[in-house]
Amino acid sequence: MTVYVRSLETAVPPTMLVQTEARDVFAAQPGLSRLGSRLVNTCFDSAAIDTRYTAVEEMTMDFRVDDPQFFDPATGLLLNPSTKVRNEIFGREATKLFIDAARAAVDACPDLDLLDITHLITVSCTGFFNPGPDYKIVRALGLDPAVQRYHLGFMGCYAAFPALRAAKSFCEADPQAVVLVVCAELCSLHVRTSNDPDTIMGSALFADGAAAAVVTSREVPDAPALLQLDHFETVLTPVGEESMAWNIGDHGFEMVLGNYVPHIIDDHIVGALAPLLAHDPSVQGLPYRGIRHWAIHPGGRSILDKVQSRLQLTDQQLVPARETLRKYGNMSSATVLFVLKNILEQPPEDGDERICSMAFGPGLTVETGLFTKLRQAAGGRAAPAEPAQEQTEGQAAAESALA
């Protein structure tokens, strides 16, 4: 049974952070050592990010509040609220993103009634509350109260793949199933000033955003699907358990992103892809000419550089990932769906349109997916197509602190 993505929509908070302005604020904090100050400038400048979005309005110089909790523009000081305060904001602001993304994905399928949705899968690793985002979406959109609800929490940047894989399984088990998948992350809630290199890197990379998809095996000739879900695989690298982690501290969640992560990916990415690509006989080893598009989670510029070099990918094949990183930063689980949307929005051309997608997270876990981009052909049938390619953006000359 073939399972399709019928819609894929994204949402970000209204507050934009300009990378250079954020760098200057973090670099000016009084508690930084000389090395810490140098690391701030290096990490922010070499991240290949221009803008990011945050749900914390007061993280900009223009916002004024009587009792600031994160940033005081009058003094230029970054504050350090408790995990409780941060999580309360998550409950309020993440709910908005979950609902906005979910509503956009449903609205993009006008042939489906809200009561057609049989399953709801929500994903986040940046906060907790209960009744959770799955409940909030059901109430806000008016879904059937009996819809089956599942929440994937605290898995990290790769969690969109287990969500899509579960959606595919539901649809294969029930041909009438319609699954709504929603990822929303508020990573910026957990940034803070520090001399710790991992914390500094997180402050330079992470951002807020959401993405939602409607997944089903139903075929509607008048409203063709966007994407065909072909196969998923999960691989744990033999090393790296201590190099990437996500822990809960007294003042927010604490990221561990060791400087050896890009090298672990470099050493093991070919082996991690082998189980996935074994399902496509047209792919005959490096370079993978049988796969035209690569939706790679942009965990950081150094990670993208290592993946491109090791897999012998062209600059054009990295455009969707690098453009997502440049415009939005790293939004954890939602990010790879932004990359896929970038690919889907490219004008179609003739030819095979296979997509290999991957994301990396704690463990070190490598999640991969094999997809086919679809377009409407004569007679209303879905057929593969190829997007027009863009020119890649120039990368920052400075080496990342993670390189």
**pLDDT tens across 212-253, in order?**
999 999 988 788 899 999 999 999 999 888 778 889 999 999
DSSP secondary structure letter of residue 149: E
> Residue 120: which H helix or E strand, with range?
strand 119-124
pTM exceeds cut of 0.85: yes
Q: Is the pLDDT of residue 372 over 60?
A: yes
- Beta bridge partners of residue 215, listed in sequence order: 5, 179
Determine the pLDDT at residue 389. 36
Band the pLDDT of 377: cuts 50, 70, 90: very low
**Phi, psi dihedral angles at 135 (to 5 degrees):** -65, -45
CA distances from 327 to 17, 75, 87, 397 (A): 10, 28, 26, 18
- Beta bridge partners of residue 361, listed in sequence order: 365
Q: Judge contact between 290 and 281, C-beta under 8 A.
A: no
Determine the pLDDT at residue 221. 77
Q: Which residue has the tokens 């929603």?
A: 182
Band the pLDDT of 394: cuts 50, 70, 90: very low
Determine the pLDDT at residue 261. 87
| Over residues 41-66, mean pLDDT | 90
Q: Is the pLDDT of residue 341 over 80?
A: yes
Determine the pLDDT at residue 399. 34
The angle formed by the CA atoms of residues 378, 319 and 374, to the nearest 5 degrees, is 20
Q: Judge contact between 143 and 103, C-beta under 8 A.
A: no
Q: Is the pLDDT of residue 391 over 70?
A: no
DSSP secondary structure letter of residue 116: G
* Angstrom distance (rounded) from CA 309 to CA 201: 22
| Over residues 251-264, mean pLDDT | 84
With CA atoms as reference, report the closest residue to 30 among 190, 194, 189.
Answer: 194
Q: Residue 157 catalytic? A: yes
Determine the pLDDT at residue 82. 96
Determine the pLDDT at residue 351. 62
Band the pLDDT of 395: cuts 50, 70, 90: very low
Q: Is the pLDDT of residue 39 over 90?
A: yes
Q: Strand 354-361 vs strand 3-11: parallel, antiparallel, or unpaired?
A: unpaired
Q: Is the pLDDT of residue 35 over 90?
A: yes
Q: Which residue has the tokens 């033999």?
A: 238
* Angstrom distance (rounded) from CA 124 to CA 156: 8
Band the pLDDT of 352: cuts 50, 70, 90: low
| Over residues 378-397, mean pLDDT | 36
* Angstrom distance (rounded) from CA 319 to CA 339: 9
* Angstrom distance (rounded) from CA 125 to CA 274: 28
pLDDT digits over 65-112, tens only? 778 899 998 899 999 999 999 999 999 999 999 999 999 999 999 999
CA distances from 109 to 214, 233, 297 (A): 8, 28, 26
Q: Strands (DSSP E) along 169-328, which ranges?
A: 178-186, 208-216, 227-236, 244-249, 252-257, 293-296
Could you tell me which residue, 89 or 285, shows the higher pLDDT?
A: 89
* Angstrom distance (rounded) from CA 107 to CA 122: 18
Size (the chain), residues: 403
**Phi, psi dihedral angles at 66 (to 5 degrees):** -65, -35
Q: Which residue has the tokens 């400087």?
A: 259
Q: Judge contact between 133 and 122, C-beta under 8 A.
A: yes
> Residue 335: which H helix or E strand, with range?
helix 335-344
With CA atoms as reference, report the closest residue to 365 among 227, 160, 215.
Answer: 160
The pLDDT mean for the chain works out to: 89
| Over residues 159-168, mean pLDDT | 98
Point out the catalytic residue in the list 125, 157, 171, 183: 157
Q: Is the pLDDT of residue 376 over 60?
A: no
